[in-house]
Amino acid sequence: MNYGEDKLISHLLLSLKNYNYETYKHSLRVAKLSFKIANMIHLSLNEQLSIYKGALLHDIGKTMIPINILSKPDKLTSTEYDLVKLHSSCGANMLEVLSPLMYLIPAVLYHHERLDGSGYPYGLKFIPLSAQIIAVCDSFDAMTNKRSYSYKKVKSFDEAIQDLKDCNNKYNQMLVSALEKVLKNNESVFLRKNNENNGIAI
């Protein structure tokens, strides 16, 4: 680990926290779950840490999206939704000029790609494992927590896991099973009352 890298991550997270607290909290939760999954599937400690850091920054590009859209209490228009979808590319662009963090670009850039090619920004079917792990945790967290601009009903943990299983063409099911085990093994940490929310992973 290198000091410059950690300092940069702290600064970026602080800007995210100040810009949009909701996305900051979401990023912390996604990072915690992603790290646990990486551990559950026996990746090396270095890989676990990279995935943790990539997940912390996966939505950093949202600091480039107008705040009135990010914090809009109602459903987004299709134009607004298209703007929000730019955040994965914006995040990658931000990391491109921060050389110690460039290795995290695949995790950030591809976290909305889906295995059936229906994701964005490129519609890839072959997706780096880091981005696949973050995608599963991101979608799970979006379904089980409140998001300003989402009108969707908040789901229980079981319902969210079932949804991920139903989308077996989009999400890596080995990772969905790992997430299910992580949640069961860490009940006291993750199984909290989550009835204040509704989300979609944008």
| Chain residues in the site for Fe ion (CB under 5 A) | 59
Candidates 140, 122, 147; CA nearest to 180 is 140
Q: By C-beta, is 21 or 186 nearer to Fe ion?
A: 21
Q: By C-beta, is 9 or 181 nearer to Fe ion?
A: 9
Q: By C-beta, is 59 or 113 nearer to Fe ion?
A: 59
Q: What interhelical angle do 21-40 and 45-56 show, nearest 10? A: 160
Q: How far is the CB of 95 from Fe ion (least distance, A)?
A: 14
Q: By C-beta, is 42 or 67 nearer to Fe ion?
A: 67
According to DSSP, residue 74 is labeled S
- Joined tokens for residue 10: 């702290």
Q: How far is the CB of 168 from Fe ion (least distance, A)?
A: 21
DSSP H helices in the chain: 3-19, 21-40, 45-56, 67-70, 78-84, 87-96, 105-109, 129-144, 157-166, 173-185, 187-190
Please name the amino acid found at residue 1.
M
Q: How far is the CB of 161 from Fe ion (least distance, A)?
A: 20
Q: How far is the CB of 50 from Fe ion (least distance, A)?
A: 18
Q: How far is the CB of 1 from Fe ion (least distance, A)?
A: 25
User: Cα–Cα distance between 102 and 151 in angstroms, integer?
Assistant: 35
Q: By C-beta, is 84 or 161 nearer to Fe ion?
A: 84
